[in-house]
């Protein structure tokens, strides 16, 4: 099934949102599993269900509430996407990244992409955070494939896909909070099955530190739109084959660890927002 949003210019969706909340946000945050409570930390927020926004995809994965939250957080105007549409749900890439283009149309300059991920690098354990320094696209496709978005470049430089200044800030605030954090390379697979031990060994050989099923399409489109990108992974499980022959993986385990980590994740992103 090829799930597509109704044909709509992201600028039109952004105009619709501005009628509900006219203040222009400067920072965008996409909340993955484990980061959901951040949406509740923003005072006096304007909350809009994705189902009400023209053209917005509505995913169905547990742990993703499907709401746009707009408000002022520690003096910064923010737009928070509480959940995302995933490629593995059957959405095409233009739909997966539609919300990213809407954020660009709203005027977002800096975008923080968060996710739950499996740890590949030795020493990473559930509850750790990884500031994404680069990525490997193993999705089998690219979100820029197809018709060129109006006013955008076809060939986008990804040399510094994840902004060094934004990443340095994340590392600094994590250290100040006494939180364990690493820098690392995120590898994206299409899912929804978890990886095999052989695949994990191959990914480690390629230089991947963490693996997940999101983030990369949004990062690519955000760079095409001129946004600075930061990425933050919460390690919710050790990748397949690294915890012994009797290891098994489940989405329930991912959500359990994400719930435990959520208060620390909220403090970390809150500190990052404040700089």
Q: Which three-class secondary structure string do you get for 214-265?
A: CCHHHHHHHHHCCCEEEEEEEEEEECCCCCCCCCCCCHHHHHHHHHHHHHHH
Is position 74 within any domain?
yes
The HSE-up count of residue 149 (CA atoms within 13 Å, CB side) is 26
Annotated catalytic, 21? no
Q: For residue 72, tell me if it sits in a domain.
A: yes
> Residue 3 domain-assigned?
no
Q: Which residues contact 234 (CB under 8 A, 6 or more apart)?
A: 32, 33, 34, 35, 114, 115, 116, 117, 127, 128, 129, 257, 258, 261, 265
DSSP state of 3: B
Catalytic residue from among 94, 115, 214, 233: 214
Clarify whether 86 is annotated catalytic: yes
Choosing from 65, 133, 142, 251, the catalytic residue is 251
214 is catalytic: yes
What is residue 20's three-state secondary structure?
Answer: helix
**CATH code for position 22:** 3.40.50.1580
Which of 86, 208, 219, 271 is labelled catalytic?
Answer: 86
The backbone torsions φ and ψ at residue 80, rounded to the nearest 5 degrees and listed phi first, read: -115, 125
Q: What is the pLDDT of residue 1?
A: 40
Per-residue pLDDT of the chain (275 residues; tens, 9 = 90+): 445 544 568 999 999 999 999 999 999 999 998 798 899 999 999 999 999 999 998 876 655 579 999 999 999 999 999 999 999 999 999 999 999 999 999 999 999 999 999 999 999 999 999 999 999 999 999 999 999 988 999 999 999 999 999 999 999 999 999 999 999 999 999 999 989 999 999 999 999 999 999 999 999 999 999 999 999 999 988 775 565 555 565 667 767 777 888 899 999 999 999 98
Write down the catalytic residue from 79, 82, 116, 240: 116
SS3 category, 111: strand
CA atoms of 45 and 63, how far apart (whole Å): 20
Catalytic residue among 237, 239, 240, 271, which?
237
- Residue 4 counted as domain residue: no
For residue 135, tell me if it sits in a domain: yes
Task: Please check whether residue 1 lies inside any domain of the structure.
Answer: no
For the whole model, what pTM was predicted? 0.93
User: How many separate domains does the chain show?
Assistant: 1
| Catalytic residue, candidates 5, 33, 94, 99 | 33
Active site residue 33: yes
Domain range holding 256? 10-274
Q: Residue 216: which residues within 8 A CB-CB, separation 6 or more?
A: 135, 137, 139, 186, 188
Residue 220 tokens read as: 């690519």
* Position 40 in a domain: yes
Locate 216 and state its tokens.
């990369």
Q: Is 237 a known active-site residue?
A: yes
The pLDDT, as a whole number, for residue 247 is 58
In this structure, is residue 253 part of a structural domain? yes
């Amino acid at each position: 099934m090829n799930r597509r949003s109704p044909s709509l210019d992201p600028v039109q969706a952004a105009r619709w949102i501005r009628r509900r909340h006219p203040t222009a946000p400067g920072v965008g945050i996409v909340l993955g599993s484990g980061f959901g409570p951040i949406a509740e930390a923003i005072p006096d927020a304007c909350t809009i269900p994705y189902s009400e926004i023209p053209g917005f995809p509505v995913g169905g994965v547990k742990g993703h509430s499907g709401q746009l939250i707009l408000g002022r957080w520690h003096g910064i105007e923010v737009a928070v996407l509480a959940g995302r549409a995933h490629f593995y749900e059957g959405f095409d890439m233009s739909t997966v990244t539609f919300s990213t283009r809407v954020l660009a149309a709203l005027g977002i300059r800096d975008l923080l992409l968060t996710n739950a991920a499996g740890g590949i690098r030795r020493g990473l354990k559930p509850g750790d955070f990884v500031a994404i320094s680069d990525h490997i696209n193993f999705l089998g496709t690219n979100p820029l494939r197809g018709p060129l978005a109006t006013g955008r470049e076809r060939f986008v430089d990804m040399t510094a896909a994840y902004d060094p200044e934004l990443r340095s800030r994340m590392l600094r605030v994590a250290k100040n909070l006494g939180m364990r954090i690493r820098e690392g390379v995120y590898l994206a697979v299409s899912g929804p099955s978890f990886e095999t031990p052989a695949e994990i060994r191959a990914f480690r050989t390629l230089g991947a530190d963490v693996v997940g099923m999101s983030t990369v399409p949004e990062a690519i489109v955000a760079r095409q739109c001129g946004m600075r990108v930061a990425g933050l992974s919460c390690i919710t499980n050790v990748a397949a084959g690294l915890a012994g022959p009797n290891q098994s993986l489940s989405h329930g385990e991912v959500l359990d660890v994400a719930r435990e980590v959520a208060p620390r994740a909220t403090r970390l992103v809150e500190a990052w927002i404040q700089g």
